[in-house]
Amino acid sequence: MPLLERHYTEEHRQFGDQVRKFFAREVTPFVDAWEKEGLVPRTAWKKMGEQGFLCPWLPEEYGGAGADFLYSFILTEELARTHCGSFFFPLHSDIIVPYLFAYGSDEQKAKWLPGCASGDIITAVAMTEPGTGSDLAAMRTTAVKDGDSWVINGQKTFISNGLMCDLVIVAAVTDPRAPTPYEGMSLIVVENGTPGFEKGRRLEKIGLHAQDTAEMAFVDCRVPASNLLGSEGAGFYCLMEKLQQERLVCAMGSQVGAEEALRITLEYVRTREAFGRPVSRHQYISFELAKMATEVELGRTFLEACLLDHLEKKLDVKRASMAKYWICEMLNRVVSQCVQFHGGYGYMEEYPIARMFRDARVQTIYAGTSEIMLLIISRQLGL
């Protein structure tokens, strides 16, 4: 029995059944249309909220179920089977909303969290800027205190959920004279419709076609001083504190994506014939699939160990970075080979492996590139 299965209760299994049936009814039939329209509609988010599938870990007082993190993993697993990597609710539920819960005041949590759980509020986080990429120390967006307000000026790019979002957590420099750039950074919440907050153009991406990624601009954007999230100057440290879960969420999505890509490829090569026999009976292909299956199995074992550590609050920076690096890279190796074994059909949009190939590529880039992960790991090794 897989390591994680031993920790599942009957409630976990029932939840998985509910999610599977819901996705089969409300997601899978519409994926192709969403890809063509370039958007997962707000109605899908609302239906997720109505079922209790958004932020299930939130306490009941804020609209959640007080569930453990395994419920989030179950949702990620079932999402992979829909072949809809563009439905970015894990970003909302397991990466952004945790900032509001961990660092928000009682007033902020009461104001925003119930809407996050119901699907009435879709969230985004704005860190990346044109020309800075992973270098947060080079951030140029500023927020200046003016009476009982913060006035924000700057530009952000590559913002996931950027067009749909009702709430965005903005990283900005609030003290340019701080001893280091990291000590002068704060997080400020900006609500959609705030004067001076402009959602820019939709960015056209290689993959994730139904996921809205956008630019943002803040031009003398004035928000209440009470929208500061956490302490002034603590923004960078808040981001670092939550990065372990963010990296784990990326590893989760990549692992179940690799498993699904392998599954549909095994089905294909068993039925597709070449030179008078099934493709799977050609030794080279069977050996390569055996190698891929081994990598996928290793990824699952490491991921489950990291998940259990995370449940016990024991997941450290090194292992989270290793999981994000290796599993996301493994996904890209697997889907590339799976396309190859589909032959010409693997390049056709009507076959799900084509979409999975496109969608996988970004996993080694966002939430910290593979190179950044290697830098972090090497430092943790004392190098």
Distance in angstroms (rounded) separating the CA atoms of residues 170 and 322: 27
For residues 87 and 79, the answer to whether their CB atoms sit within 8 Å is yes
Across the chain, where does the E strand assignment appear?
Answer: 123-126, 142-146, 149-160, 167-173, 185-191, 197-202, 213-224, 228-229, 273-274, 277-278
Pairing of strands 197-202, 213-224: antiparallel
Distance in angstroms (rounded) separating the CA atoms of residues 140 and 146: 19
215 counts as catalytic: no
Greatest distance between any 2 Cα atoms in the chain: 79
Backbone dihedral region of 38: left (phi > 0), alpha (psi from -120 to 50 degrees) or beta? Answer: left
For residues 62 and 109, the answer to whether their CB atoms sit within 8 Å is yes
Pairing of strands 273-274, 277-278: antiparallel
Q: Which residue is it, tokens 């947060």?
A: 136
Q: Which of 35, 246, 259, 260 is catalytic?
A: 246
Distance in angstroms (rounded) separating the CA atoms of residues 319 and 323: 6
Chain length of the chain:
383
User: Hey, which residues are catalytic here?
Assistant: 246
